[in-house]
């Protein structure tokens, strides 16, 4: 004898279905669903926007506290960063300490201190001068600890030079507020010293060499060093740049 049982329809509520699917996903990708990974990923997502447009980013987090959603230190490095008003920055390192991440808003909510190091290469500085300053040709040579020599063909009213004649400009690299500046102290052309009549005019034509005011963080250049083909800037950042709006 065959007994036929009545059919039973099983109804699963959308909320239970969602929970079930989430459980399967987290089961398949357990590492990415842990609280530690979620906080790490949140911090990592936030950092590139404070570095600026770059070809490559890297973020390292140390001293992560999942319960507090905080980290002792975070270092974000951008390569070939392209801020407005400055040459391409070959490498920009952003160092944060005392970092707190708000999981609700998915933003950094507090940072105790901020510092940056920025490196500009001489070929990039030459390109910047030729593109954005009154200079037709520019060749940059550095001398430690903080001096530079520029060989340029300036395009300045009342300072015309015959074709093929370049101007040699010497001076010191200094940081002033957000700007990298070149304090001109010598000018010569064709072996003739033109410092007295041309130093101020050339200084106005080529400065600032870089201005970091358009970085996503408020900054002030603390020191400048020169070596080889690299200009290094130690920069202090404002922690309030990370405060919620």
Region class of 111: left (phi > 0), else alpha (psi between -120 and 50), else beta = beta
Please give the pLDDT value at position 158.
59
Cα separation of 206 and 135, whole Å? 8
Cα separation of 149 and 147, whole Å? 7
Whether residue 110 lies inside any domain: the answer is yes
Cα separation of 73 and 132, whole Å? 37
When divided into structural domains, the chain yields a total of: 1
Please give the pLDDT value at position 186.
95
Whether residue 8 lies inside any domain: the answer is no
Whether residue 71 lies inside any domain: the answer is yes
- Whether 113 has a pLDDT exceeding 90, the answer reads yes
Sorted by sequence, the CB contacts under 8 Å of residue 200 that are 6+ apart come out as 184
Mean pLDDT of all residues in the chain? 84
**Structural domain of residue 38, as residue ranges?**
17-245
Please give the pLDDT value at position 245.
60
Please give the pLDDT value at position 157.
66
**Average pLDDT rounded to a whole number, residues 74-96:** 95
Asked which of 2-6, 114-118, 183-187 is least confident by mean pLDDT, the reply is 2-6
Whether residue 30 lies inside any domain: the answer is yes
Whether residue 9 lies inside any domain: the answer is no
HEC assignment per residue over 188-218: EECCEECHHHHHHHHHHHHCCCEECCCCCCC
Whether residue 10 lies inside any domain: the answer is no
SS3 state of residue 38: helix
- Whether 4 has a pLDDT exceeding 50, the answer reads no
Whether residue 22 lies inside any domain: the answer is yes
Cα separation of 140 and 169, whole Å? 10
Q: What pLDDT digit, counting tens, does each position of 131-148 carry?
A: 999 888 899 999 999 999
Comparing 210 with 1, the larger pLDDT belongs to 210
Highest mean predicted confidence (pLDDT) among 8-12, 14-18, 21-25, 192-196: 192-196
Please give the pLDDT value at position 6.
47
> Tokens 């991440």 sit at which residue?
101
Locate all alpha helices (DSSP H) within 64-216, ordered by sequence. Answer: 122-132, 195-206
Please give the pLDDT value at position 136.
83
- Whether 54 has a pLDDT exceeding 50, the answer reads yes
- Whether 92 has a pLDDT exceeding 80, the answer reads yes
Whether residue 101 lies inside any domain: the answer is yes
Work out the pLDDT band at 220, boundaries 50, 70, 90.
very high
Centroid of chain to Cα 3? 76
Dmax (CA) of the chain: 119
Query: What's the predicted TM-score (pTM) here?
Result: 0.80
Comparing 140 with 245, the larger pLDDT belongs to 140
Partners of 170 in the β-ladder: 149, 186
Please give the pLDDT value at position 36.
64
Comparing 36 with 151, the larger pLDDT belongs to 151
């Amino acid at each position: 004898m065959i007994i036929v049982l009545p059919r039973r329809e099983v109804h699963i509520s959308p909320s239970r279905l969602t929970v079930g699917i989430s459980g399967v996903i987290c089961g398949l990708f357990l590492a990415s669903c842990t609280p530690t990974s979620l906080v790490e990923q949140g911090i990592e997502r936030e950092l590139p926007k404070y570095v600026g447009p770059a070809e490559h980013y890297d973020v390292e987090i140390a001293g992560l506290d999942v319960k507090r959603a905080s980290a002792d230190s975070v270092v974000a490095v951008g390569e070939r960063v392209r801020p407005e008003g400055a040459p391409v920055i070959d490498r920009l390192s952003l160092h944060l300490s005392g970092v707190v991440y708000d999981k609700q808003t998915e933003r950094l909510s507090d940072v105790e201190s901020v510092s940056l190091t920025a490196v500009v290469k001489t070929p990039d500085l030459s390109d910047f001068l030729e593109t954005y300053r009154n200079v037709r040709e520019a060749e940059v040579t550095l001398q430690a600890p903080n001096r530079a020599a520029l060989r340029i063909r300036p395009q300045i009213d009342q300072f015309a030079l015959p074709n093929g004649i370049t101007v040699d400009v010497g001076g010191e690299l200094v940081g002033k507020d957000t700007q990298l500046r070149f304090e001109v102290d010598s000018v010569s052309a064709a072996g003739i010293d033109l410092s007295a009549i041309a130093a101020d005019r050339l200084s106005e034509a080529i400065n600032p060499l870089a201005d970091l005011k358009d970085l996503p963080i408020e900054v002030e250049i603390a020191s400048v060093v020169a070596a080889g083909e690299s200009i290094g800037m130690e920069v202090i950042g404002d922690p309030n740049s990370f405060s919620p709006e």
